[in-house]
Amino acid sequence: MTSVPSDAAGTPSPAPTPLAARSPYELRVDLGKGVPEADVRSALATGDMGFLHSFTTGSAVDGPGVRVVAWTTGCMFRCLYCHNPDTWTMSNGIPVSLARATEELRKYRHGLKVMSGGFTLSGGEPLMQHRFAIKLLTAAHAMGIHTALDTNGFYGDRLADDELARIDLVLLDIKTWDPERHRRLTGMEIGPTLEFARRLAARKRPIWLRYVLVPGLTDDDADIEQVAAFAAELGSFERVDVLPFHQMGRFKWQRLKLDYTLDTIEPPSQEVVERVLGIFRAAGLKAN
Ligand code: SF4
């Protein structure tokens, strides 16, 4: 018989939160809160431990083929439309050794190859834990698994050129073009993201642009035309994914008692999505 862990008073301890989740929309908080500060610092410096919201399987929208996705915690942006604000704080994630994360991935190795899929590291912002991020992507690469990094690019300069070579695809989120609008949307500057895009293009690294379409916030034609022109000129953007805003993350803002300002915003109509896809296509990009 398997014994159930209990405290000194005999009260059964709750089962640890599993690494696997049905989707990133599971609300997860404080799972790494007990980790001593010195251990967090060491994890960030060495990359031998990271903080993950979860692993999910079967994604068809986070890179080519069917993807296993590891969702990191920690983000320097505060996007008004963020669908997963529980991933903003690193200590909300599960502390996971690199060895454990690699073993988790190894389970899917054969299936991913058969389905021409791969592994995507997303978040949160994975480069908040850039040592862990690159070590995990390197491990995936060494197993022959296609690797993708989903990033806002703000800390792209933390990766060396030889590390970029181990990332088969960068899914780069460009939120808007206008610097002031970018500050209002995310709380941060747009410059580092664009600089990272230029650097990837100069090294001929494949990029997919991810553009979250939010009515009233990121649906300005002139602004989107600028994003499209930038991506087309760089030449490394293999495709554009226009991601329509939705309200699946609203409950997280409410449960975390965060000030959610998009309560009344509806997802964009198909007509608006088509119009935006048309702007990217008119610039010569493949857009879906
Ligand atoms: S960059 Fe992504 S995870 Fe970070 S706040 Fe924005 S949408 Fe959320």
Chain segment 29-68, per-residue pLDDT in tens = 999 999 999 999 999 999 999 999 999 998 989 999 999 9
Nearest-angstrom CA–CA distance, 202 and 84: 32
**Cα 81 to middle of ligand 1, angstroms:** 8
Whether the per-residue pLDDT at 258 is higher than 70: the answer is yes
Ramachandran area for residue 10 (φ above 0: left; ψ -120 to 50: alpha; else beta): left
User: Which of 79, 83, 186, 214 maximizes ligand 1 atoms within 8 Å of its Cβ, making it the mutation to test the pocket?
Assistant: 79
**Cα 83 to middle of ligand 1, angstroms:** 8
The per-residue pLDDT for 173 is 98
Range scoring the smallest mean pLDDT among 72-76, 107-111, 199-203, 222-226: 107-111
- How sure is the predictor about 17, in pLDDT bands with cuts at 50, 70 and 90? confident
User: Over the stretch 94-108, which tens digit does the pLDDT of each residue have?
Assistant: 999 999 999 999 999
- How sure is the predictor about 1, in pLDDT bands with cuts at 50, 70 and 90? very low
pTM for the structure as a whole = 0.94
User: Over the stretch 229-242, which tens digit does the pLDDT of each residue have?
Assistant: 999 999 999 999 99
Inter-residue contact 118 to 146 (CB < 8 Å): yes
Pocket of ligand 1 (CB under 6 A): 75, 77-79, 82, 84, 87, 123-125, 152
User: Token pair for residue 186?
Assistant: 């995310």
Nearest-angstrom CA–CA distance, 30 and 121: 21
**Cα 214 to middle of ligand 1, angstroms:** 14
| Residue with CA at minimum distance from ligand 1 atom 6 | 79
